[in-house]
Each structure stands twice: as structure tokens, then as C-alpha cells.
Structure 1
Amino acid sequence: MAEIVRMPKLSDTMTEGVVAEWHKKVGDKVSEGDLLADIETDKATMEFESFYEGVLLHIGVDKGGTAPVNAILAVIGEKGENIDALLKDAGNAAPAQEKAEEVKEEAPVVESKPDPTPVQTEVAPVQVAAVATSTNGSANGGRIFASPLAKKMAEEKGINLANVVGSGENQRIVKRDIENYQPSAGGAAATYIPAAAVGTESYTDVPNSQMRKAIAKALSASKFSAPHFYLKMEVDMDNAIAARKAINEQEGVKISFNDMVVKAVAAALRRHPKVNADWMGDYIRYNDHIHVGVAVAVEDGLVVPVVKFTDTKGIAQIGAEIKDLAGRAREKKIQPEEMQGGTFAVSNLGMYGIEDFTSIINPPNGCILSVGQIKSTPVVKNGEIVPGNVMKLSLSCDHRVVDGAVGSEFLRTLKELLENPVRMLV
């Protein structure tokens, strides 16, 4: 008996999916566990395996097509089986197919790796010819248009405005015309020619991926509904630099400063549980567990893999886990559940040379920490100016969840932990 395969809900926020690739075609034999298609969700492109065995009798959404969750994706059954009645009874087969056709007609096909062709618009070169006339006002009914500054400059230099060619709107004489005025030997008007706009305009239209749409929707909702405020602090990283060097000298161990920040964040959250909270609309959820999300840039946007129970793990373990999650996120092999459940988030742009920035809170979290680069700079220690290494932190807070004093206490504890890394282990 034929079985309907429906568009799966592959993430908690997914409402529709795009078929990035079909690995089977109508008429192919399908076994349970066979890779059927690649589905692009709002967070990643996921491999979708078949739960049934038989022959692929029908494809409900073509490659590049979009369909809502639970729409008919395919039908698998016995070879030659009539599935017309099954599709009719399912009810949503037509809407799903129409949705796919609509995408084909109204927008370019979006595959997992779009390769858009630039659309160029030819613009005719603007030719500006020299003008030799005894009066600037002939084109304007005898009246000379000039800015007050141009008039004053012309008067000071003894220049007759009637002999100046205006380069402003409607041949209006402006400051640069007076500055560039060169009278000809015969007393004719200046031959100053404004810079000509010659060239070709071009642009590339890239359809938004499901991920980019989801990012836009979630962060717009966060920025415009959550009352953000920001707390900033500088951290002396001299001891952290020495600690990292000592740790990395151990065989088989390699940690980054970001790994140390994530560990310090987890330790600070344990001491300040009111920051480890989510805005749930009618109530605030104070989480007893600590799951730190780490923002990772991927081809289509940004994802936030989550290090679960971060406070129970060592720095090296955290580093290995972040490396694994980030690698699979960039390869689009990360699972949706690995990007869910974060109670706090960290975004680090220090590797790009960014010293200071603020982030938009990742809902429903109450806070997100922005981490800048470590910069060598003169600092004051014991009343003397000495070389130092400083890193700037910025804590974005949802004022509905976290008050200024609470956020400040958390940030102060975080600073103390990073400046004295041994305290993270206590």
C-alpha cells in the first residue's frame, strides 16, 4: 500500500521547507534509511531519509520548490500502483504543488548553493561638452543663477558671473565653478567641465534563503520588541594569555581565548542565576541548567550551536565541542536539536579585528555577550603606565528580564574570572 511522505518539521521554528536536492527520481526503488532529499530549513540544510520501502511513485515538491510543513513531499508504494485517490484524499497535495509552481514562476530557483548571475543595466555615458558663450543666463531666460557664496567669491576675484559656466542644478553657479574658473584669452566663458558619469551600473539579486528569512524575522522581533540596554567593561587579559599558553603546551590540548570566555561565562552564570533566564511572555523562566550558545558564521547567515551543561565541562572539553559543532554547522550537517535550548549566548568578532560591538539578543534569552579582540595598549598599573593587553566586553540585556544592577554584577564577576583564570577551576 502506498505511503505519503510529508514535509518534515526539522526545527522548532520551521514552518516551511525548500527541497534543495532530490536523491531519488520517480520510478527509483527506495529502501528504509535511503537518502531521499536534502531539505533546507530556517537553520540548516538537512538530509532526509525514507521511513518506507518501495518505489518512488510521486514527487510533490520539485527541486527548489517551497512547501509548508506536512505538505505532501512524495509518495512511496508498489510499482504501478494507482495513487490518484490517495492524493485526492490527502487534500493538501494540490496546494503543495501549487506552492512549488508559484515559487518557480515568481522567483529564481533557490538551491543549496545559489550561483546568481549578475543582472546588468547599461547606462548611456553622459557627455558634458564645453560651453563657450558670452552669457550664463541665456539658458535661463537671461537670469544668472548662483549660490550666495559663489557670488561673494566672484565679487572678491573680479569675475563676471555671465562668463562662468554653472555645474550645479539648472546650470546654477556654485563654489567649485568659481574656484576652477579660467578665463580664455579672447574673454570667452570658462570651459570648466564637471566630472562626467561614464560607466555601467550592475547589481546581483540573490533570493533570501530560509535561514536568512528566519534570522531576519527572529532578530527583528527581538530588536523591536525587547528593550535592549548595554553594559560594557574592559578586561586585563595578561593572566589569561599566560594561562592559555601554559595549557596549550600540554600535548594534545589546544584551546582558544573564546573557549576560556565561554567557560568563564558558565561559571559567572552559576553565581548569577538571574542572568541565566528567558523571557516567556507571561513569565520569566530562570534556568537551573546552563547551556551556552556560541554564534557561528556560516555561508547563509548565522547559527548558534549550544554547548549543553557548559558549567560542568572543562575548558579543553568546551573547546573541542565548539570546534566540532562549528565545523558541522558550516558543512550543514549539524542537527536542529544541537542549536536549541540555549540559556545564554556569546558572539565573538575578535578574530576579525573588531574591538567593540553590541549584539542583538537571541530570543528568548535575556542576554548575549559580545567579545572583541585582545588589543595591546598602554595601561595604568600601580600608578605607572605599562604595556598591557585589553579585551572589551559588551553585555546586551533585555530590560524585561535583567536589570542594570544584575547585569553589572554578572559582568564584574566575568571580568574577575578572566583576569584570574585559576578561579574558573574552583
Structure 2
Amino acid sequence: MQGSGPHGRIVRADIEAAAAAAAAVPAPAPAPAPAREPESEDVEVLPLPQMQRVAAERLTRSKQEAPHIYLTRAVDVTDLLALRVTLNETLAAAGEVKVSVNDLVVKAVAGALRTHPEINVSYAGDSVRRHRRVHVGMAVAVESGLLVPVVHDADRLSVSQIAARTRDLSARARERKLRPEEMSGGTFTVSNLGMFGIEQFTAVINPPEAAILAVGAAVDELRPGDAGPVVRSVMKVTLSCDHRVVDGATGARFLQTLAALLEAPLRILA
């Protein structure tokens, strides 16, 4: 405000004039409501289930509030897939639950989070909440949306224990029998669409977590070898990070550790 009094001082007349000018400015028009299609016999209107409404609100808020950055890395999982075959032969002989690729990824993610606690965080306004325990959520598609049951203390479980836990959680998620505590407390989420043939995608961060890993399908690629090109199984993983608390270099170091675990899979079992 420019004062009109002696030596540029602001006087009462200046304040009243400024108030009158502000009152004369028209208020911004409200945002238009989403356009509704006209009623038609060719369109079936389906109510949005409560679970999808909640998910829509949470993920919309996540994209609006959290500045997402995306980091993608190709991982050679040839040895991982071979290890899975060997593990499952042993587990089947013992009558135990078989291990999926996703189980091995969850275990590797949990180990990488233990190595990089700066990823196992949540944004809290003027502070960062660093979680001392590693709770890995896994996105599960159900009939009317998506649920994220949580494998608590995943870094302390063996791969076979994670396999048993994920089978139980996934089955009860589809039956809508999960308890609230089994869907809360996650510090990181894994979303795997590889079983649907999706090779690469980006996922929206599940608030209040600071990162989520999108896992694609393993595909055969020619890679250089000692005696010429060889066929290797390659899987692409994409890390979505909340840039307010996880920068690109931090996310890249996490992916570097994760790739090292997946490419030398015996380390996952240690």
C-alpha cells in the first residue's frame, strides 16, 4: 500500500480506499462441476462403490499434494527365476506353500528398505517421520477396486513365511475378510502387474507413505555374454517417490541396492 500522508505515511483514508477497492474485485467463479452425460438408453449408470470412492479421494489427494518423481531400472532376474524353481521344488516336497516372484520381490524390497531407511519415511509437514520397522503393503485387485494388505515386519520374515502371509492376506482380501489392522501401518507399497503381462508402469504413492514400487513382467532380452549374445530374463521396476522427502539420488541408490539383491538372489535368503 502506498501512503498518502506526510513522508509517505499510511493514513486512514488510504486504508478505507484499499478496502473499497478490494470489495469491488469480483470473487473468482467456482470451478465447474464435471459435465454429466445426458441420460440415454445406451448408457448404464453404475453407483461408485464406497471402496472406490475412498480410493479415488486418497489417490487424487496424493497426486495433488505429493510431487511425484519416477525412476525406472531394468533388472536381470534370470537367476532369481531359476532360484524360485529350485525353492518351489523343495517346498512342494515338504508340503509347504510355493513362493511367487512377488514374494521374492517383497523380501528384497524389505531388505533394501532396511539398508536405506531414508526411503522408509512419511512426509509430515515440517518434519519427516522415519519408521523403525518395515511394513510392506501389496496391492491386491478385488472385484470392486484395490486393497492394500500389509506384510508387517517383512524384513524379519523368511521368504516362505512371506509366501504364506501373502497367500492368506490376498485370499481374505478378495473375500473382504481382512481386519483393519491388516490394511494399516504400511511404510512402503509394492504393486505388481507382471502377471497380467504389463511390462512397465508407474504407480501413485499410497499416502502417507513416501514411495511405491511398480513391478512389470519379466521378458526375454538379448544381452552380451562372454561367448556372444545370450537370452536373459529382464524385469523393469519403477519407483515413484514423494519429492518432498525423497530426491532422485536417494531413490536411485535404493533401486541400485534392490537390483543387486534381485540379481544375486541367494542374498535374499541370507
Shorter-chain-normalised TM-score: which range?
0.7 to 0.9
Corresponding position of 1:337? 181
CA distance in 2, matches of 1:312, 1:419: 21
1:231 aligns with 2:75: no
**Alpha carbons of 1:383 and 1:343: their partners in 2 closer, same or farther (altered >3 Å)?**
farther
Determine if the alignment matches structure 1 residue 208 to structure 2 residue 48. Answer: yes
Q: Which residue of 2 aligns with 1:359?
A: 203
1:377 matches 2:221: yes
The runs of 5 or more residues in structure 1 that have no matched partner are 1-118, 122-201
1:120 CA displacement:
5.3
Q: What letter corresponds to residue 353 of structure 1 in structure 2?
A: G
For the residue of structure 1 that corresponds to 2:163, the secondary structure is helix
- Bigger Cα Rg: 1
Give the TM-score, by structure 2 length: 0.82
What is the letter of the counterpart of residue 85 of structure 2?
A: K
- 1:405 is aligned, of 243, 249, 261, to 249
Supply the distance in 2 between the matched residues of 1:346 and 1:414 (Cα, whole angstroms): 13
The code of the aligned residue for 1:315 comes to V
Asked if the contact 2:150–2:184 (Cα under 8 Å) also holds between the matched residues in 1, the reply is yes
Which of 136, 141, 148 is equivalent to 1:292?
A: 136
User: What secondary structure is seen at the aligned counterpart in 1 of 2:146?
Assistant: strand
User: Structure 1 residue aligned with 2:117, among 273, 280, 286?
Assistant: 273
Greater Cα offset, 376-385 or 286-295: 376-385
CA root-mean-square deviation:
1.2
Cα deviation digits, residues 98-150 of structure 1 (max 9, x gap): xxxxxxxxxxxxxxxxxxxxx852xxxxxxxxxxxxxxxxxxxxxxxxxxxxx
How does 1:246-257 map onto structure 2 within 5 Å?
246-250=86-90, 251=93, 252-253=95-96, 254-257=98-101
Kindly provide the CA deviation profile for residues 245-268 of structure 1, in whole angstroms up to 9, marking residues without a partner as x. 110011224000000000000000
* Whole-angstrom distance in 1 between the partners of 2:106 and 2:61: 26
Shift of 1:383: 7.5
DSSP-derived class of the 2:207 partner: coil
Residue number among 60, 65, 69 corresponding to 1:220 in the alignment: 60
8 Å CA contact retained: 2:159, 2:269:
no
CA contact (8 A) 2:102 2:192 kept: yes
Return the alpha-carbon distance in structure 2 between the equivalents of residues 407 and 225 of structure 1. Answer: 19
Cross-structure match for 1:163 = none
Aligned residues: 228
Identity, in percent, stands at 51
Q: Which has the higher helix share?
A: 2
Given the alignment of the two structures, is residue 241 of structure 1 paired with residue 89 of structure 2, yes or no? no
Any idea what the Cα deviations from partners look like across 1:371-410, whole Å, max 9, x if unmatched? 0001112122348321111000000000011111111010
Aligned partner of 1:8 in structure 2 is none
Match of 2:104 in 1: 260
> What is the CA–CA distance in structure 1 between the aligned matches of 2:226 and 2:68, rounded to whole Å?
36
Matches within 5 A, 1:387-398: 387-398=231-242
